Structure 1
């Protein structure tokens, strides 16, 4: 910087007063700052006490571990594989419907007549009729192909679920040589787990259905059909039973797939 730049312009030569710095934020009184600090300290102390509670501390550690082990990403991947498994399941469902229609010709004729009555376009009605005929005629092929794909995708779905659970439960993120297993043993284990999960779901749904029917029979036998709040309460009870049974099935599947067993 030169000497000329160091020379300040005299204020007397200005045609106006120099701009003064404006205080935009007034200073708070010391008493107010002290109260705010005390309140902040009290809240911080309270939060630390809550976090030191065993249940809360365990929940915080579990959440941090879940996020560190990419739990949300694993959940998204399992959802994607579950969506892909819907296609072969639909194929098996169409094949089952084809077997039912083939064994009941009268039902098939009723469907055709309703299509002709409700569809005004003759071309579209003919296309729907031919599609149903094709599905009925090729029911065995569609069923076998769909069943095979459903079995393969289901086993892979169970394998992905098992790997996700094990990634969450093992001590270190990387798999050790002890975690490696033979491919045939892996698929056999996943197949058995898949069958067990399906059996557990069938049992839980059957128990829920039987319990709902028994409740309705008891209400009818006691002549309590006219009580509206009782029906609402029983509906919540059935939902709770279904949730409990499905949660039990999930925990059984979790314990079967996790290695080592979580503590």
Structure 2
């Protein structure tokens, strides 16, 4: 089994996946994805504030009519209280929108900053290399621009996926094509191809804008195509889960939030794993270290993988004479230089040297004799004093 695993790691495409997984794991891909998910959820609150303000301004009359229609069914007291709250909320929608917009911009810039740092951590040859950053304002502005482009692309792919999964039958009925043979498959296939195209552009955009180092365009195109397929699968599964939660009244409240958080985390993992896959097409999985899956790269004469750091073998504790000499030299303050010292090194198995033990025994015996003599003299003097007192009495 071990030999088979070793042989299969020499297959180029398997070795590439192993290197990508090793890079993703060793460079904290899961932790970076969790951080990106956290900032994504954090940005949902200001986004909701902006959405509330926009809906209040655009559909003010419709909302007012809906409130007037529904509130009387709640009773006079409760309906009046809710009306007061809703009217006050609508009057402050502008303030909420401005605050939400500023907060959403700040949170979005932070989210994209985390995404950029995570992709660069997977992309660069060594994790110890310094990440280049511009000043805070310029960096935040660039992050916002990249985020806006990303939101447009993700929204377009989600729209096409929803059309392909949920509204295909409705579209056929609207167009009157439900009786045309094969039209159902065609209406589902065209949006899926559009989703793949938008996903490909999305990943290509990310891997051209975020990293600092350039890698072969051919590998970036391959990685972007693989990322587009992965994104399509994630979106399809998300649409299916949304439909399942929508049909369940008990799960309809928290189901969409759970699906959204799951999608954000898996989407972040997908971006980082594909980045690791692209990077390890020309780099070792771990900078300066060699693993079995690096063999296909080492056989490519056009790649410069850099030197491999060979760790010094660790001697077995308690059995290396040199280690025992070094430990003894540190204890006794002896400096071992290029010259041979005329010092007899002790046996490492002996905890205390014999001369030291003999000297310590003699000193302990002398101290014990003196303490015993002093104690005996004191007891004798005390006894003699007691006898004299009795004779006097």
Q: Give TM-score, length-normalised by structure 1.
A: 0.68
1:193 CA drift (Å): 1.3
Tell me which of 72, 94, 105 is aligned to 2:52. Answer: 94
Q: Which residue of 2 aligns with 1:85?
A: 43
Q: Which has the higher helix share?
A: 1
1:189 CA drift (Å): 2.2
Q: Which residue of 1 aligns with 2:205?
A: 252
Q: Which residue of 2 aligns with 1:234?
A: 187
- 1:125 and 1:240 map into 2 onto residues whose CA distance is 50
Q: Indicate if the aligned counterparts of 1:101 and 1:136 stay in contact, CA closer than 8 A.
A: no
SS in 1 for 2:59: helix
Q: Indicate if the aligned counterparts of 1:165 and 1:257 stay in contact, CA closer than 8 A.
A: yes
Q: Indicate if the aligned counterparts of 1:98 and 1:135 stay in contact, CA closer than 8 A.
A: no
Q: Which residue of 2 aligns with 1:29?
A: none
Q: Indicate if the aligned counterparts of 2:108 and 2:147 stay in contact, CA closer than 8 A.
A: yes
Following superposition, which runs of at least 4 residues in structure 1 exceed 4 angstroms of deviation? 202-212, 215-223, 227-230
1:225 CA drift (Å): 0.5
- 2:31 and 2:59 map into 1 onto residues whose CA distance is 43
- 1:107 and 1:187 map into 2 onto residues whose CA distance is 36
- 1:93 and 1:46 map into 2 onto residues whose CA distance is 56
- 1:179 and 1:64 map into 2 onto residues whose CA distance is 25
Matching of residue 67 in structure 1 with residue 25 in structure 2: yes
Where do 5+ consecutive residues of structure 2 fail to align? 217-393
RMSD: 3.5
SS in 2 for 1:179: coil
Higher mean C-alpha deviation, range 198-207 or range 250-259:
198-207
Q: 1:252 to 1:110 in 2, by over 3 A?
A: same
- 1:101 and 1:163 map into 2 onto residues whose CA distance is 40
Q: Give TM-score, length-normalised by structure 2.
A: 0.47
Matching of residue 110 in structure 1 with residue 110 in structure 2: no
Matching of residue 200 in structure 1 with residue 156 in structure 2: no
- 2:181 and 2:69 map into 1 onto residues whose CA distance is 41
SS in 1 for 2:205: helix
Q: Which residue of 2 aligns with 1:8?
A: none
Q: Indicate if the aligned counterparts of 2:8 and 2:14 stay in contact, CA closer than 8 A.
A: yes
Q: Indicate if the aligned counterparts of 1:94 and 1:135 stay in contact, CA closer than 8 A.
A: no
1:188 CA drift (Å): 2.8
Q: 1:72 to 1:228 in 2, by over 3 A?
A: farther
Where do 5+ consecutive residues of structure 1 fail to align? 1-42
- 1:243 and 1:131 map into 2 onto residues whose CA distance is 45
Q: 1:122 to 1:174 in 2, by over 3 A?
A: farther
SS in 2 for 1:77: helix
Q: Indicate if the aligned counterparts of 2:160 and 2:192 stay in contact, CA closer than 8 A.
A: no
Report how many residues are paired: 216
Larger Rg: 2
SS in 1 for 2:214: coil
Q: Indicate if the aligned counterparts of 1:95 and 1:142 stay in contact, CA closer than 8 A.
A: yes
